[in-house]
Structure 1
Amino acid sequence: MLVLVVDSSTPAVTAALVEITTDGVAPRAQRQTVDARAHGELLAPQVDAVLAEAGARPTDLTAIVAGLGPGPFTGLRVGLVTAATMGQVLGIPTYGVCSLDAFGRATAGAGRVLAASDARRREIYWAVYDTSGERLAGPNVDTPAAAAEQAAELSVDVAVGEGAQRYVAQLDLPLLAEPGYPPAYALAELAAERVLAGAPGERLTPLYLRRPDAVAASTRKPVLP
């Protein structure tokens, strides 16, 4: 089953094609560009590029897997709208995965792991995973210091992700160099059971965790001076 994976929950804009079978997930093609200000400009061309590299067409896709975040409002919305629109047009199911869960999956066996991405405003999105990759806490948005306190209570061993790299001193944990961003293959693995079972498609509900910076005006502005 040929599956498209997209994630725009972090500064990394990711599009990948994977083959999902009963034997596991096999990568076919991937594009990832780190640019926090260009999610809208980058994702669609990257989807086209991975399809071209694999010699596939959109109609060859069986399903679409999308990272649900948490992530900043504008960037995260790009990936989810792209996935939902393609799923609707192609008539194929879409499946959502918490983007931080991909870190837990990718670092299974490394002990208790705090996965973190940059939430801006000097905060991080974070979650904690056990040695099997199962989530123990989160996802939450906090200052690095607050996350560090909770990580200590949960006896976390290491930290991973670009948020952890940015605030390594405040988290005061050993740092895994990789992965810096949610791995596409791990997102696919987390959705593989649903894909193989032909489960009904899901509404892709974003994990914003906080309100966007832009809000509607509370009062009307006068037209005349």
Structure 2
Amino acid sequence: MNFLAIETSTEACSVALVHGDEVIERSEIAPRRHAELVLPMADALLAEAGLARGALNGIAVGRGPGAFTGVRLGVSLAQGMAMALDVPVVTVSSLEALALEAPEDDAAILSIIDARMGEIYVAAWRREDDGNISLLDRERVDTAAALLLPEVAAWHVVGSGWATYEAVVRERIHAPIRSADGARFPQARHVAEVAAKRFRQGEAVAPELALPVYLRDKVALTLVEQGKA
């Protein structure tokens, strides 16, 4: 199967192409440049593989949560490309894709994205025997200080929320932290990894049913909340 995967929900802009058993990728940390980079990345990957867009059987996309404009861009592009090619779409949680950046062992995984405005997007995961991951709790938006986590033996922590709120998050974690990396972002190669299984399982949907997940509707603080009024 040939399909493109797009992930633009955070500072990282990435595209992956699954071409049979091969996965190739372009990725760049490029805040506010996703709109200019994502389609050229896709075209470069198709050219490298010697494929025309018409050879694609589907599109996968990170559905969020993340930056409002980035999530909207990725999902809109996936919908538009899929409609033009008459192929289905698989959406993948950006928190799930981020969790796959963690080391592969028996520790639980905390994926945590800086949501700005003093909040985080967060979810806890466990790695199954088959290498897949599954939720230990639920995806949510919260403050770092209010973070409640399930009891586990050890944690891997990945994502920009750690870089921003490390001291506070450490106080909320009551198990050994086996690794922590605040410089990790969701990547299209992991969107592709999850999506490949879902395509095989028949979980793709029509483009118009591929929807973003924001977890919150509010995208900015009021002047009062900023202390400017």
The answer to whether the 8 Å contact 1:73/1:212 transfers is no
Match of 2:151 in 1: 154
Retained in 2: the 8 A contact 1:92–1:201? no
Distance 2:58 2:38 in 1: 17
After superposition, the CA RMSD in angstroms is 2.2
Alpha-carbon offset, residue 6 of structure 1? 0.2
TM-score for both structures, normalised by structure 1:
0.82
- Offset of residue 18 of structure 1: 1.5
Residue pair 2:163, 2:182 contacting (<8 A) in 1 also: no
Deviations 1:103-148 (A, max 9, x none): 334434241111011211122111000132211122111122222x
Correspondence 1:77 to 2:75: no
- Cα distance between partner residues in 2 of 1:199 and 1:177: 32
Alignment CA distance shift 1:186-1:213 (3 Å): closer
Q: Do 1:10 and 1:118's aligned partners in 2 also have CA atoms closer than 8 Å?
A: no
Q: Does residue 125 in structure 1 map to residue 131 in structure 2?
A: no
**C-alpha distance in structure 1 between counterparts of 2:141 and 2:196, whole Å:** 28
Would you say how many aligned residue pairs link Structure 1 and Structure 2? 206
Matching residue within 145, 168, 171 for 2:169 = 171
Please give the secondary structure, in 1, of the residue aligned with 2:136.
strand
Q: Secondary structure at the match of 2:214?
A: coil
C-alpha displacement of 1:102: 1.8
Give me the whole-angstrom Cα distance separating, in 2, the residues matched to 1:213 and 1:134.
Answer: 28
Q: Identify the match of residue 215 of structure 2 among 187, 209, 212.
A: 209
Q: 1:198 to 1:60 in 2, by over 3 A?
A: farther
CA contact (8 A) 2:19 2:49 kept: no
Distance apart, 1:20 and its partner CA: 4.9
**CA distance, structure 2, for counterparts of residue 178 and residue 116 of structure 1:** 9
Matched, 1:111 2:115: no
- Give the TM-score, by structure 2 length: 0.81
Q: Does 2:84 correspond to 1:89?
A: yes
Does the 8 A contact of 1:125 with 1:139 survive in 2?
A: yes
Q: Deviations over 1:46-103 (max 9, x none)?
A: 2122212222211111111101111121111000000000000001111101111123
The letter of the residue matching 2:114 is D
Residue 222 (structure 1) aligns with: none
Matched residue, 2:34: 39
What percent identity do the matched residue pairs reach? 35
Q: 1:213 to 1:193 in 2, by over 3 A?
A: closer
Per-residue displacement from partner, 1:150-205 (whole Å, max 9, x unpaired)?
A: 12x43362311222233222211634338711232322222223323555524221
